[in-house]
Structure 1
Amino acid sequence: MLTSYLMLLLFGCLTGITTVLFGFGGGFVTVPVVYGLWSVTAHSGADAMHVAVATSTAVMVVNSVFATLSQWRQGRLRREYIWPMAAFVLVGAVAGSLAATRIGDTALRVLFAAYLLATIADSLLRKGFLSVPRAREPRPLSRPARTLGGVGIGSVAACLGVGGSVMTVPLLRRRGLPMAEATAMANPLSVPVAVVGSAVYALAAPALHARAGRLGYIDLLACAALLGGSLPTIALARRAAARVPDRVHSVAYVALLVIVLLVMGI
């Protein structure tokens, strides 16, 4: 058991790096890692995907808020791309997290993989993500993108415990923002997803409440170990994103999604 939590601590460091560089808040690292641990422990894989998603949202609450404050101090956040979209993301997050508690574990895992596949294909096949013309001025978000798009992002992100960055980053990227700015904006947009998702998952699964170290579906011990690695890493790596070449940044984003898909065993 101690070895498992030491491994979570190390993966927490990776979570911190992906939070800073890609705006993930940890979701695409914590979900497969916690899922893998629960699948091979004495729990016999019971509710492994639900626990992974719930624990991911709890980690994202802290990571996203911490990263948002760091990026705000650096002047990298632009209000017009965050508000009022964040309010509609919040609405969608309520629906998505409630839906996740009613979806079977296998179905939730398949949806997670399908979401990854769709995002990878979209990033590779549609123009505007891997590179943005240098002379292109960033464009504002349309009303449908802020409203309906926000609700959709919140719903999917809360259901799968991924924070929404895999939809917000491509969306902002295609509005002409550099990767460093698009990923910076993903963190504040992940905060409402993480807060709502954590509250719903904490109140769900009453049978798990009696287990030590659990709060609903959230594995508190795993959450603490992941945060122990991620928070110091975010503090150390917060200036790194601005130094990564834009093309390398966007390619690395897609490559990480491919790796996560493979790790999930799809």
Structure 2
Amino acid sequence: MITLLLLCGALSGVTTVLFGFGGGFFTVPLIYTLVIAQYGAASPTGLAAMQIAVATSTCVMIFSAGLSTLHHHRAGSLDWRSVRPLVVGIIPGAALGAACAIGLNGDLVRYAFIAYLLITIADCLLRPGFLRRAPAPSQQVSGGATAGIGGIIGLIAALLGVGGSVMTVPLMRRRGASMTGATAMANPLSLPMAVIGTLVWLAMARHLPGTGGPGFIGAINLRAALLLAAGAWVGISLTSRFIGRLPDAVHARIYPLLLALVTAVMVVAG
């Protein structure tokens, strides 16, 4: 279990740097599967497995998104002017999303997670502007509209524990960003969501049966979170030297393939 968590953390660190996601899309299926295997699907903790997975993933994301943001900033790949307007909406959206996730049935959250992935894969493959870099739009989107989009991103991301990268990367891509630029911006946008979401999980997890026992802080599996963060540090540190080196077309094609792999894992885990 220790080795598996470290390896998954390292893999999520690699994809966090190169693709803007990793924490949620790898750790949520893994933690969900491990909790079910350890406690049993019918136990109180097993019934809360999806919420535990989302809460733990959200906590680890604080570390991985923060560290990846630092590396991208040093590499000069971050466009902070595009990031700031979205953050205004992401913060309240994240608080609402995390609060909603606590009260939902675990299976419902898992089905929503899978549906979210499938819709995103279809959007990347079928709608123009992702696989091939779109030209920058002639008109700028207003600050209010951008904040509203940020609110939706924050709500869905905190609800599912995925960081919002699967919405922000296609959004920035269709606004004319390269894959390097789009994935770079996903990390600082995930950071406020992770902080707000974690605080909400800690404050409200007492209402969730099966959590809060030994090894847990609220709904967060502390041991899993620490091992995943340690692995993520290794993955991010090793991968940061490759920022901007993947050809744009290859970068864009790998993105939906990774999402399809995660979707398959989540379906099998059920």
Q: TM-score normalised to the size of structure 1?
A: 0.93
- Unaligned residue ranges in structure 2 (runs of 5+): none
- Whether contact under 8 Å (2:90, 2:155) holds in the other structure is yes
* Equivalence for 2:3: 6
Distance (whole Å) between structure 2 residues aligned to residue 162 and residue 254 of structure 1: 15
Distance (whole Å) between structure 2 residues aligned to residue 265 and residue 72 of structure 1: 36
Match of 1:233 among 232, 235, 246: 235
- Whether contact under 8 Å (1:139, 1:175) holds in the other structure is no
Distance (whole Å) between structure 1 residues aligned to residue 63 and residue 39 of structure 2: 28
- Whether contact under 8 Å (1:129, 1:174) holds in the other structure is yes
Distance (whole Å) between structure 2 residues aligned to residue 67 and residue 243 of structure 1: 16
- Whether contact under 8 Å (1:25, 1:190) holds in the other structure is no
Can you list the C-alpha shifts for 1:82-134, whole angstroms capped at 9, x where unaligned? 1121121111111111111111101101110111111111111100001115x
Count of aligned pairs between the two proteins: 261
Bigger mean CA deviation after superposition, 56-65 or 22-31: 22-31
* Equivalence for 2:160: 160
* Equivalence for 2:66: 65
- The alignment partner of 1:131 has SS state of coil
> CA 1:210/1:93 → structure 2, altered by over 3 Å: closer, same or farther?
closer
* Equivalence for 1:128: 129
- Unaligned residue ranges in structure 1 (runs of 5+): none
* Equivalence for 2:146: 146
Bigger mean CA deviation after superposition, 53-62 or 144-153: 144-153
> CA 1:48/1:179 → structure 2, altered by over 3 Å: closer, same or farther?
same
- The alignment partner of 1:243 has SS state of coil
The amino acid across from 1:128 in the alignment is G
Q: Percent identity?
A: 46
- The alignment partner of 1:147 has SS state of helix
- Whether contact under 8 Å (1:157, 1:193) holds in the other structure is yes
- The alignment partner of 2:244 has SS state of helix
- The alignment partner of 1:83 has SS state of helix
> CA 1:150/1:140 → structure 2, altered by over 3 Å: closer, same or farther?
farther
Can you list the C-alpha shifts for 1:11-62, whole angstroms capped at 9, x where unaligned? 1110101110111151101111111111111243231110110011001000
* Equivalence for 1:103: 104
How far does residue 141 in structure 1 lie from its aligned partner after superposition?
5.3
Distance (whole Å) between structure 2 residues aligned to residue 115 and residue 10 of structure 1: 25
- Whether contact under 8 Å (1:32, 1:264) holds in the other structure is yes
* Equivalence for 1:249: 251
- Whether contact under 8 Å (2:48, 2:211) holds in the other structure is no
Distance (whole Å) between structure 1 residues aligned to residue 210 and residue 202 of structure 2: 10
Distance (whole Å) between structure 2 residues aligned to residue 80 and residue 141 of structure 1: 12
Distance (whole Å) between structure 2 residues aligned to residue 21 and residue 140 of structure 1: 29
Distance (whole Å) between structure 2 residues aligned to residue 161 and residue 129 of structure 1: 23
> CA 1:154/1:210 → structure 2, altered by over 3 Å: closer, same or farther?
closer
Is 1:222 aligned with 2:233? Answer: no
Can you list the C-alpha shifts for 1:148-195, whole angstroms capped at 9, x where unaligned? 111100000000000000000000000111101100000000011100
- The alignment partner of 1:65 has SS state of helix
* Equivalence for 1:184: 184
Distance (whole Å) between structure 2 residues aligned to residue 137 and residue 42 of structure 1: 50
Bigger mean CA deviation after superposition, 27-36 or 17-26: 17-26
- The alignment partner of 2:103 has SS state of coil
Distance (whole Å) between structure 1 residues aligned to residue 104 and residue 19 of structure 2: 28
Distance (whole Å) between structure 2 residues aligned to residue 158 and residue 140 of structure 1: 30
Distance (whole Å) between structure 1 residues aligned to residue 140 and residue 130 of structure 2: 16
